[in-house]
Chain A
Amino acid sequence: MKKTEVPQQNAKAFMGHSKLLYAVDEQGRYAPAPCNGWEAEEIVLDQAIAEYVRLASDAWQRARTGAGSTLEYHMFKQRMDVVLLAQSTGFFKWRVRRDLKPGAFARLSASRRERYGDALGQTPAQLDTLPDQA
């Protein structure tokens, strides 16, 4: 890639920052080249974030109607899934899956609640709450 071809498409995710690429100058010499956004990256980043938003809003709907737990909502809200939540709490996947069901979640011990809260950056009490909008 030539330095003059480094995309500068001002990605909103970068919030005015730029990242560093390596590109060649007129003489064909490599040098660091800042880039403040590229269409391809922006598309796939938006796509990944939209997927988390979709999962969180589905979970929000379920939690609203009582078909799912608020824990499931908070899991997706913090860009996690069952595998990641299991890894970051140290619990087995099957136990996390069970704890995501509303009944099991309501009966959770204080210490397990705290571990979930810790992994999700929430206080144990916050895990019970649901915002007005997903």
Chain B
Amino acid sequence: MNAAAATVVPFDHRQSAHCESGVISSLLRHNGLDISEPMAFGISAALGYAYLPFLKFGGLPLFAYRMPPGWIIRGLTKRLGVRMHMQTFRRPEDGTRALDAHLAAGRAVGIQTSAYWLSYFPPDMRFHFNAHNLVVYGKRDDQYLISDPVIDILVECEASALQKARFTRGVLAPKGLLYYPGPVPAKPDLRPAVRKGILFTTGMMVHVPVPIIGTRGIRLVAGKIRKLDPRQEAHNKLLLGHIVRMQEEIGTGGAGFRFLYASFLQEAAALLDKPRLAALADRLTEVGDEWRRFALHAAKMCKGRMDMDYKMLADQLLHCAAEEDTIYRELRAEVK
């Protein structure tokens, strides 16, 4: 008798907007707690805004529309009282062996990887980003069976590529991180968790006295765009393109996670029986639409399909900042 060539843990794949909220909500659902992606995102208080000029990517500063990687998994499990088992490894072979052992024990696990070395990613979508998350639910011969939350179908990745992706070095190095939840309550009371999440996010967005964070950060970036030197157009285009990519392309569900958060607020309105939250969700949707228009204008200006107009882009961002500011303040008053 030889070991079966395939180990498969039945896993329900559901596509998500964002990798981390997607993985955690499907892992919890797999373990008996049905929680939507927006709920996972909102409870963990993952929405944010930060302009981090000291972190450079390809020479351009970081514009973050959410809290740092790892935040959702930690925040959600903490507020739900679920213990997350996490393992990292020094040696790649140990990481691969542990993954195989979990699969053999019938456990689907989440792992952190680099997005660049995953062979199933379309080549044009591969960039060196070390904090991608996905679920491994089986192995067939030399191929791992993967439920990648940002991809619409189930995918496979050869063992060597996956090992490489799990053990890249550098910023946010995954170190082979592998995780799965411990016992999960089937019907926890989400209400206190929702409230805490909203209080944290709104506090972060309007009450942190740091100019690069929250709505202050959005205003600061608006000012930077307004003051861009027209003689440096080639560089400015790269910068604007970079901003739009951070906002739209990197799995945000549209408008830099604003739509995802508005969807959470709708669910929260029903859960807490506070119709005001649904009205605020509608307003956040409108702000999201403005973010999308900003992205479209900036992209067209980069491509030369629209005249470059820094003032117009800056004004759009100021509008978003002002609107978000009032929304978060009202939201905070509502759940306090």
* Given A1-B255, A84-B170, A90-B169, A17 contacting B152 (CB threshold 8 A): yes
| Interface residue ranges, B against A (CB under 8 Å) | 15-17, 37-38, 56, 58-59, 116-117, 122, 124-128, 150-153, 164, 168-171, 237-238, 241-242, 244-245, 248-249, 251, 253-255, 259-260, 262-263, 266, 281-282, 285, 288-289, 292, 295-296, 298-300, 302-303
* Given A45-B124, A45-B245, A87-B171, A21 contacting B259 (CB threshold 8 A): yes
A49 and B124 contact, CB distance less than 8 A:
yes
Measured CA separation A44–B116 after assembly (Å): 18
State the Cβ distance, B151 to closest chain A Cβ, in Å.
6
**Contact stretch, chosen from A26-34, A65-73, A105-113:** A26-34
State the Cβ distance, B292 to closest chain A Cβ, in Å.
7
A14 and B122 contact, CB distance less than 8 A:
yes
* Given A34-B15, A48-B242, A89-B169, A24 contacting B285 (CB threshold 8 A): yes
Measured CA separation A22–B244 after assembly (Å): 18
B16 and A39 contact, CB distance less than 8 A:
no
**Contact stretch, chosen from A56-64, A75-83, A96-104, A123-131:** A75-83
- Contacts A1-B288, A38-B248, A88-B169 aside, 7 further interface pairs with beta carbons under 8 A come to A1-B259, A20-B16, A22-B253, A41-B245, A47-B238, A47-B302, A87-B170
B289 and A88 contact, CB distance less than 8 A:
no
* Given A22-B263, A23-B259, A44 contacting B282 (CB threshold 8 A): no
B16 and A45 contact, CB distance less than 8 A:
no
Measured CA separation A29–B270 after assembly (Å): 12
- A residues less than 8 Å from B248 (CB atoms): 38, 40-41, 44
B15 and A47 contact, CB distance less than 8 A:
no
- A residues less than 8 Å from B16 (CB atoms): 20, 32
B259 and A87 contact, CB distance less than 8 A:
no
Query: How many residue-residue contacts, CB under 8 A, span A and B?
Result: 132
| Chain A residue nearest to B127 in the complex (CB) | A79
State the Cβ distance, A19 to closest chain B Cβ, in Å.
6
- Main secondary structure on chain A at its contact with chain B? mixed
State the Cβ distance, B225 to closest chain A Cβ, in Å.
15
A34 and B170 contact, CB distance less than 8 A:
no
* Given A20-B15, A22-B17, A41-B249, A88 contacting B122 (CB threshold 8 A): no
Q: CB < 8 Å: which of B56, B122, B253, B254 contacts A13?
A: B122
| Chain A residue nearest to B286 in the complex (CB) | A1
Q: Does A18 reach chain B (CB closer than 8 Å)?
A: yes
B245 and A39 contact, CB distance less than 8 A:
no
Measured CA separation A48–B262 after assembly (Å): 30
A47 and B152 contact, CB distance less than 8 A:
no
A44 and B299 contact, CB distance less than 8 A:
yes
B282 and A28 contact, CB distance less than 8 A:
yes
A88 and B15 contact, CB distance less than 8 A:
no
A43 and B164 contact, CB distance less than 8 A:
no
- A residues less than 8 Å from B170 (CB atoms): 84, 87-88
Q: Does A119 reach chain B (CB closer than 8 Å)?
A: yes
B260 and A22 contact, CB distance less than 8 A:
yes
- B residues less than 8 Å from A1 (CB atoms): 254-255, 259, 285, 288-289, 292
- B residues less than 8 Å from A14 (CB atoms): 122, 125
